[in-house]
Structure 1
């Protein structure tokens, strides 16, 4: 028996990361399939990626993998089962593909795999994700006219790419397995809900898992973290030697500004505007297509400004791992900007005060950078020690946050575990931010703008009531019912619930 695998692997295809000829800085996971004795590039998939150039490399990898795995399954299935093709065979085959993904292809009783794929069972979420990626691609091919909507011959050994795609089109007709992701617009959600049941190919069911209580950053740790967590040397006289200024400022943005962990790494030094009244305006601007907002270069795009300094926008997939920072589709204005709303004025004033000092500290660090590269860069947060002046990385911040927790452990005398489940990962503060706004009674549309979501539906996971809050509200309701203050439930209705135990 073949060696155990952690996930389905390629058999009749290969995915290669390569650059598209004639296009600068657009690398894609190109899919090559084995057709007879030849290896063929799936050109339509290249066109698909060119139609969505700003999508992440991970998203493109998922599409290539989904199409490649389905191709593998079709080839292996046809080699083993050469039975006559019955009515609706195409949909039956994709149902078998879905089950093969979810349940695995290895017979647990006979300990063999007739398809010779040796796919281990995949989770429900992974299975649905693959099917969704596959179906979305085929829908696009149909709209583009790459494949016709009418039926065609079944896939045996395809003579060309169009035959393969026609087969896929027959097997996959709608995005039936698409999750209600918070990145999807409200109109897309409405259309998906309307079409889902009518177009469903297979019902895989669910695992009965709700969203559960949001793992937000522990509120009781906010004050001690900000006071003690970033202290490097209490005896030092210079602020940058006493505290980790960069990590502390980023943490202020995460906890009190509700930013995603990647967003502070896109902030330029001129995206922060201190106000005379002690407040501070901070803007998140599109990494590539927003203007620089610099004096004398207001109309220059950020990607142009960076290119002149041999840099790319930080969300570009061609960047090194340390320089890369993701970017979600924020709700922005016509200048492609979104303001950060501080949830507490004291935190805003602290960030303003630190920013003013940080500019002079950054200038000293940038001298080392310009000496090495002959030019500057515009990013606010920079490294302090190794490669001083270079743009600060997400990994560097994560390490700094872990060190802050270690200092806090010693101060508080109790362990503080770093992780998503504990709410102490860099995303936990954003959940705390949303909870604070919700519990303060802030209107949903205001919360939407504060979290910079494009849809009001997106912040549900951030404003989910806590177990304590739900219990408290239910206790209030129970007392209201018991005192007959609830007109919907009278005493006669309650009487049937009484138990006389003698």
Structure 2
């Protein structure tokens, strides 16, 4: 089987000094050019995770094509069998796979993502390089038309003017892909597992606070406060600049924290560049020869998810809840700045590494996740998404805390910086743990009362219950009934 290797490349597309960072596939013939052409054409409005997903999907398809050369009479038939192998795997019941792929069955959602990525790639190649479509459109059945309309409605129901049908929609509704993925299981809005409130103090004091280096302890406690007390994502916190924290004019004991868009946010101190630019992207380039962290690759990259800003300067303002956490942040922030002052930094970011090898460098997500894991270990806990013991669990508990306090949903939406109310339902609706606790509390209220499942005149003991028999699990009366055949 041909060796395919994914790599990160810097591509020169013009005569300027700017280089384009994109993932590529390396074959024994060099870079796989059709994929590279597609990624370059889409790079101006696509994210790095999207590019990585396309490259991975293409790699799977090329590997499948390599081990099945000349086997299929037409491209769509090859693609159909490729999708089936994604769904069901390539290994037989004896653990044998002559192709050497040894693929395990994939989740329906993952298969559908791969199909979608390859649809985009092969459609573009068909239009721009006259290749044959792998997954062409066919006439949709009436059932598929209804599904298409339902999908369109779901995508647009929360958008402004989303109810207005665009021209050509009916024609789109009448088309369907020849090859589609499996139907995924129907999910509820999801169970947003929030961080347990009772563990916050131990994590803050005995977890992060017991780090050997006091500078590390302060830095990580500040990030924790941003997540737990203002709902910041861990990636949001790492975009914070030293200049983004201000004294609160309404409360001198607290601070205002603003998180600016890493590219479009306004540069600090009314800075104006040589070409009259005022954005952070220009500021980083001119002053530090850096690019925004969301444009980097590898471990240095820090994503940015928020699309809604609070001000024309392109920032979101964090809101402390409860308010006293902002006062705690203010105290620790002043101490942290004293630790930061003597360290040489070639960047404006607030949170830095204090390790000897990387001292002064911007703190990375990987490094914070390791600190988070170590802090949990100090309080005898481990990272666990089902228990809410993850960095993102603090954003969930922030939303859940506001909901439990009876705060208006529009205020919660504003505090979480969500584009729509629908986006925050996962943060504020009852979770699995909430339902279990509520039912347990309700059960306790029933103590001492007769359950309607049994007659009030029947004594509730195991012997009496067993005499009634259980026809579904013991139809022959071996263990139950008035005269069981096998007596305990």
Give TM class, smaller chain. 0.7 to 0.9
Query: For residues 210 and 29 of structure 1, what CA distance do their matches in structure 2 show?
Result: 35
Q: Per-residue deviation at 1:131?
A: 1.0
Task: Indicate conservation of the 8 Å contact 2:316/2:417, yes or no.
Answer: yes
Pick the aligned partner of 1:25 from 1, 19, 38: 19
Q: Per-residue deviation at 1:268?
A: 0.7
Aligned to 1:291: 266
Pick the aligned partner of 1:316 from 295, 298, 313: 295
Task: Indicate conservation of the 8 Å contact 2:23/2:55, yes or no.
Answer: yes
Aligned to 1:331: 308
Q: Per-residue deviation at 1:41?
A: 3.9
SS in 1 for 2:382: coil
SS in 1 for 2:293: coil
SS in 1 for 2:295: coil
Pick the aligned partner of 1:465 from 430, 452, 469: 430
Give unpaired runs (5+ residues) of structure 1.
Answer: 1-9, 149-160, 235-239, 370-375, 410-414, 479-494
SS in 1 for 2:118: helix
Pick the aligned partner of 1:435 from 394, 400, 405: 400
Aligned to 2:82: 97
Q: How do 1:137-156 residues align onto structure 2 when only pairs under 5 Å count? A: 137-138=121-122, 141=124, 147=126
RMSD: 4.3
Task: Indicate conservation of the 8 Å contact 1:135/1:173, yes or no.
Answer: no
In structure 2, relative to structure 1, the CA distance for the partners of 1:310 and 1:172 (3 Å cut) is farther
Aligned to 2:334: 356
Q: Per-residue deviation at 1:389?
A: 2.7
Query: For residues 455 and 327 of structure 2, what CA distance do their matches in structure 1 show?
Result: 58
In structure 2, relative to structure 1, the CA distance for the partners of 1:112 and 1:47 (3 Å cut) is closer
Q: Per-residue deviation at 1:293?
A: 2.4
In structure 2, relative to structure 1, the CA distance for the partners of 1:284 and 1:356 (3 Å cut) is same
Query: For residues 214 and 208 of structure 2, what CA distance do their matches in structure 1 show?
Result: 11
Aligned to 1:237: none
Aligned to 1:255: 228
Aligned to 2:364: 393
Q: Per-residue deviation at 1:426?
A: 1.3
In structure 2, relative to structure 1, the CA distance for the partners of 1:231 and 1:310 (3 Å cut) is same
Task: Indicate conservation of the 8 Å contact 1:32/1:41, yes or no.
Answer: yes
In structure 2, relative to structure 1, the CA distance for the partners of 1:461 and 1:137 (3 Å cut) is farther
Farther off after superposition, 416-425 or 298-307: 298-307
Query: For residues 472 and 210 of structure 1, what CA distance do their matches in structure 2 show?
Result: 19
Q: Deviations over 1:425-470 (max 9, x none)?
A: 2111111112112222333333222222233322232223123544
Task: Indicate conservation of the 8 Å contact 2:72/2:78, yes or no.
Answer: no
Pick the aligned partner of 1:46 from 31, 37, 42: 37
Pick the aligned partner of 2:104 from 115, 120, 136: 120
Q: Deviations over 1:78-117 (max 9, x none)?
A: 61244xx6xxx83x5533321111112334369444x665
Query: For residues 296 and 49 of structure 1, what CA distance do their matches in structure 2 show?
Result: 32
Farther off after superposition, 389-398 or 430-439: 389-398
Task: Indicate conservation of the 8 Å contact 1:138/1:172, yes or no.
Answer: no
Task: Indicate conservation of the 8 Å contact 1:290/1:301, yes or no.
Answer: yes
Query: For residues 33 and 382 of structure 1, what CA distance do their matches in structure 2 show?
Result: 39
Matched, 1:162 2:132: no
Query: For residues 211 and 6 of structure 2, what CA distance do their matches in structure 1 show?
Result: 50
Matched, 1:421 2:392: no
Q: Per-residue deviation at 1:342?
A: 1.4
Q: Per-residue deviation at 1:393?
A: 2.4
Task: Indicate conservation of the 8 Å contact 1:17/1:30, yes or no.
Answer: yes
Aligned to 1:153: none
After TM superposition, the score normalised by the length of structure 2 is 0.72
Task: Indicate conservation of the 8 Å contact 2:296/2:302, yes or no.
Answer: no
Q: Per-residue deviation at 1:404?
A: 2.9
Aligned to 1:372: none
Matched, 1:106 2:91: yes
Query: For residues 137 and 374 of structure 2, what CA distance do their matches in structure 1 show?
Result: 52
Aligned to 1:273: 246
Aligned to 1:136: 120
Q: Deviations over 1:145-198 (max 9, x none)?
A: x635xxxxxxxxxxxx8343x323526999999xx9xxx87459989x997896
Query: For residues 329 and 43 of structure 1, what CA distance do their matches in structure 2 show?
Result: 32
Pick the aligned partner of 2:375 from 388, 395, 404: 404
